[in-house]
Structure 1
């Protein structure tokens, strides 16, 4: 396979896959004269290119023919072309092997021109209206890739539906699940004067309809190019030969206008005209109409330059832009700051966690609680095959997993808070003993206090000094204060300031004073405690329901 461009031709066969437009044969001489070519190329629709240098790839040469139809299989691996001069009048191309083989389909009417072929992407069946299995243009031919054979069914009379049976345009609308027809000549290859006829074939029911459209409709024409976008919501008509004669009966110039039919509302919209063409190849990709080849208004073969029309901006442009994918937008920028990336990741995780918590909260408010109702006496169904989990069950399982993770994280946080509180309490208990050995005071550090808790900072008192008197078996309170002035007891119990946390020099021990010991007592003010039954050994408390201490409280 090579990448140079094909020679300009008129009347090539063309069909496309999701990623490429395939173009075969065509006439290289003016006025569609001379022997057709066998060149076969594909145009890349996944990479950008300029209209003067489209991204062509040369493939294995195929049948030499012009003004003939092509269609792809449902899996887009095989293409078939009809209206060949040599029997059996059809040939197949395999993308995987890049090779052509003769088809075994029998088509007696293959000498007719102007027949279209379109694939029903739902079934993979190829339909040829007024096709090749008879010589009367009255059959609807059906070709199947799997059997490599064509069969026929008879069409309704041309006076009922589809008066145009030659050189028409036909496309498959994925949205409507039907084939749409527009333009062409009648069964005797004569012009259809006046009117604007859009015909629909619903393949699933084999029913024909004439659609009623609105908006500025295109005049009837033949030899035009017609295609649809990827989802089948619009049908595009470009160029062609007017079938209505001029005022004096003369042939009118070729057309280069653009008309778009919205297949949802059946409304026509007229675009901006471009260069006139007949017998051109065309397709729509990423809301861009691509036109190549054909015969221009001077009855000359069009140049090799492609035409691209932006359907969104209604303008002819000089380059093609494919659809953007995730892999195409990813860049390898070595100058990206790692901190910025980490910050973005952390922010994204935070947002995701917030969304998950909100979703869990909403689900808990509206979800019903599932209760196991099977008793111990009932037979176990563990050995029975379990039905596949429904989407709701999978969703509940995922939510339960998230709840367990959140509970585990909460338990770890609670454990860390408790350990920190225990360390602080241990430091508070050791501080009075350390203070007796401290020679110089230090500044009292600020301890964390949770304003939402009932915890108050403890008050510390000095140790009672040693006495030289013999122990009498009774406390000082019993000997000196019982029955005496109560105010003296209050005045005697003077609290010491809170000692500092941390060690200083221990070189100079404290002097032991042999005086009467100072008795300490609890302060007169009573601290505010948490409600009874809800107290914990940490410096905070929170409401928990009875039972499981880790249960999530439902608002």
Structure 2
């Protein structure tokens, strides 16, 4: 869905957030079921969602293999987005999706699971050689380099790199003082800096990453770096959504789970958050936006013009979110 107002700098009018959220069990368009812990990706003018948990009763949920796309280039009503049903895939939770530069192939990585989706033929096939060399990559974030088409997957100890052209993996060690054993961070490609950026997550599933910094991997030099911006710095979080403005000059963090109390380092003690933060790279400064109407973890999101489009996720262990008409200025 295209914005109705022009994009301006972060210091003036910021992003218009379109929250496609509600506490309901179904959606009207194409009968998509509200989902949480689903995979998602923007590929060209479409947003794709795959799998996750759907709610079957107010207290029960089940895994789904549903796959849908949403056309972001045409206007549509927020209370009835035109989801298109695609070929379903093996039911899975927290699959991580990545699209090749052609926007014609999507890869999905999960727990002992890898597959590829052909957009043109609407078909899924198993990915060979399957999972990367590092045994445990569940919860890692695959990111594609749009220049080379290589897929980068930062694990606990290695940066695993997959070549779709040669159907093979390579890897290199990650400096433990820069990116130590990160689990369930979020990340993305910054086109302005030609680098991969990560924020948040846990150490070994038990401890929050208490340092609120952005970790950067510059593809050309293969160097790791830590960015420590000033401003209204976000605290530790995981299972959030991370996106970049289309020009790469702004990083957006939305939702996720955060410690129940400030300074708490125990990962199990957490709650969903409605917070949104924006990092302006020109000034190296964080700014906190107005909280969303509802706290959400595991949301999907993507930026279209000056809008952040987000769908799904959950506000508690028993409530999965879906569609609602809400416009939210930061």
TM-score (norm 1): 0.50
1:92 and 2:92 equivalent? no
**Which whole-Å CA distance do the structure 2 matches of 1:236 and 1:256 have between them?**
13
Post-superposition CA distance 1:483-538 (Å, at most 9, x none): xxxxxxxxxxxxxxxxxxxxxxxxxxxxxxxxxxxxxxxxxxxxxxxxxxxxxxxx
Equivalent residue, structure 2, for 1:230: 246
Q: How far apart, CA to CA, are the structure 1 residues paired with 2:58 and 2:175?
A: 35
Pairwise CA distance, 1:144: 1.7
- Shift of the alpha carbon at 1:227? 1.0
Aligned length: 298
Question: In the alignment, which residue of structure 2 is the partner of 1:19?
Answer: 45
Q: In the alignment, what sits opposite 1:253?
A: 271
Determine if contact 1:258/1:273 at 8 Å carries over to the other structure. Answer: yes
Q: Are residue 271 (structure 1) and residue 289 (structure 2) matched? A: yes
Q: Deviations over 1:143-185 (max 9, x none)?
A: 122123322222112xx10236111010111111101111000
1:124 aligns with 2:140: no
| Alignment match of 2:321 (pick from 299, 303, 312) | 303
Q: How well do the aligned residues superpose, as a CA RMSD in angstroms? A: 2.5
Query: Offset of 1:244 from its aligned partner?
Result: 6.6
CA distance in 1, matches of 2:178, 2:116: 32
TM-score, normalised on structure 2? 0.83
1:73 Cα deviation (Å)? 0.5
Q: Of the two structures, which has the highest relative contact order with CA contacts closer than 8 Å and spacing of 6 or more?
A: 2
1:175/1:246 CA distance change after superposition, 3 Å? closer
Other structure's SS at 1:113 match: coil
- Point out the structure with max Rg over C-alpha: 1
SS of 2:89's equivalent?
A: coil
2:100 maps to which residue? 73
* Structure 2 unaligned spans of 5+: 1-27
Question: Which residues of 2 match residues 463-478 of structure 1 at below 5 A?
Answer: none
Q: 1:51 aligns with which of 70, 78, 89?
A: 78
Q: Which aligned pairs between 1:377-526 and structure 2 lie closer than 5 A?
A: none
Once structures 1 and 2 are overlaid, which stretch shifts more, 22-31 or 167-176? 22-31
Partner of 2:126: 102
Distance, in Å, in 2 between the alignment partners of 1:270 and 1:306 is 23
Which whole-Å deviations, capped at 9, do the CAs of 1:42-96 have from their partners, x for residues lacking one?
11101122222112111111231111211001111100001154xxx31111111
Q: Which has the higher helix share?
A: 1
- Distance of aligned partners of 1:231 and 1:308 in 2 relative to their CA distance in 1, 3 Å threshold: farther
CA distance in structure 2 between the aligned counterparts of 1:70 and 1:147, rounded to whole angstroms: 20
Instruction: Report SS of the residue matched to 2:226.
Output: strand
Partner of 2:191: 174
Contact 1:161 1:208 in 2 (8 A): yes
Q: Does 1:198 align with 2:227?
A: no
Aligned to 2:34: 8
Q: Which runs of 5+ in 1 are unaligned?
A: 131-136, 315-555
Cα separation, 2, equivalents of 1:220 and 1:230? 25
**Contact 1:164/1:183 (<8 A) preserved:** no
8 Å Cα contact 1:8-1:301 kept in structure 2: no
Distance of 2:95 and 2:29 partners within structure 1: 25
